[in-house]
Amino acid sequence: MRINLTIPEECRGQRLDKALASLITNHSRTTIQGWLDSGRVKLDGAQPKRRVAVSGGEAVEIDVPEVAAGEWTAEDIPIDVVFEDESVIVVNKPAGMVVHPGAGNPHGTLLNGLLNHDQSLERLPRAGIVHRLDKNTSGLLVVARTEAARINLIKQFKARTAGRRYIAVVEGRLISGGTIDIAVGRYRHDRKRMTAGSGKPAVSHFRVVTRFQTHTLVRVTLETGRTHQIRVHFKHEGFPVVGDPDYGARPRIPAGASESLVQILTKFSRQALHAELLELDHPRSGERRHWESGVPQDMRELILALKDDSTKFESNKKTALGY
């Protein structure tokens, strides 16, 4: 497909990539920069640099590449659809499901299930997936159904106007809520893991929901969305997420814990982390929308067991003190 347009006078003095991004609203500025860098854009018949300033009146011709869908196949995988319309699909992803096919996970992913749910998604990059959750993190995730919706959602996540809130069980007793403002980047000795203290800025706001005997239930709101951000941040603070296979510690067993709680803590094999709230501006109507999801059964059992243990501990302590 070719796009032909003329730079309007009101864009005078702007960088070419910025001017084009304001004129071609169904493609991101990053995508347009890629076209410029690969020579797909001509400005008055010549190939320009992305940083060139425009004067207004120039003729632009763009050779838009076809979007490659990738070698993905539709698979009959159950998808828990929380909401859907002509623009978006909001799903509740279970723990254990990979979002996108990759090395070691070519099948059985959310993307494969989405293609079975809506075959038209194969026309979009990553089948409309614009953000991810870790394999063993459960919860809400939004998928675009059109290219216009995809670009709109990408811009919202980039501008940090899309809201995401998580609930987690962490090791240790947090005294109060707060903010963790520590950069997160790739661990140089293992590219699949992340580390705190270097990389890109990362900010997590949290508040205490319930303190148990040796654990804390917290709600976390993301200001940024770095890979493994919550898990890395709480590990860095000394309160790793329960069950985290990459950043966690040995299970912390409360003194006098019941056998059932010991079993739950020692066998909880995924991070106790759930994306419970998603909030964004609907890409078509502009209306602010939000969706919520209750914690899954495994986390519910963990929280109830910790609550029962903490209640018994406080009762026994009061009895020992004589009141």
- Written as tens digits, the pLDDT of the chain (323 aa) is 688 999 999 999 999 999 998 888 767 788 888 889 888 999 999 999 989 999 999 999 998 875 555 568 999 999 999 999 999 999 999 999 999 887 567 789 999 999 999 999 998 888 999 999 999 999 999 999 998 999 999 999 989 999 999 999 999 999 999 999 999 998 877 767 899 999 999 999 999 999 999 999 999 999 999 999 999 999 999 999 999 999 998 899 998 899 999 999 999 999 999 999 999 999 999 999 999 999 999 999 999 999 999 888 666 655 544 44
Contacts of 36 (CB under 8 A, 6+ apart): 16, 17, 48, 49, 50
The pLDDT value given to residue 195: 93
Catalytic residue positions, numbered:
134
Phi, psi of 254 (to 5 degrees): -65, 150
Rg, Å, the chain Cα set: 24
* Topology given in CATH for the domain delimited by 81-159: Pseudouridine synthase (3.30.2350)
b/e sequence 120-129, b meaning 16+ C-beta within 10 Å: ebbebbbbbb
Q: Is the pTM of this model over 0.85?
A: no
Exposure of 308 in the CB half-sphere (CA atoms within 13 A): 13
Cα distances (angstroms) measured from residue 109 to each of 100, 102, 243: 6, 9, 22
The domains of the chain are located at: 2-63, 81-159, 163-280+294-311
Asked if 81-159 and 163-280+294-311 have one fold, the answer is: yes
pLDDT at position 321 is 46
* E strand or H helix at 265: helix 259-267
> 2-63 adopts what CATH topology?
3.10.290
Interatomic CA distance for residues 247 and 231, integer angstroms: 7
Options 1.10.1040.10, 3.30.2350.10, 3.30.70.1380, 2.60.40.10; CATH for 163-280+294-311 is: 3.30.2350.10
CA–CA distances in Å: residue 195 to residues 17, 167, 185: 33, 21, 6
- For the chain, what is the largest distance between any 2 Cα atoms, rounded to a whole number of angstroms? 90
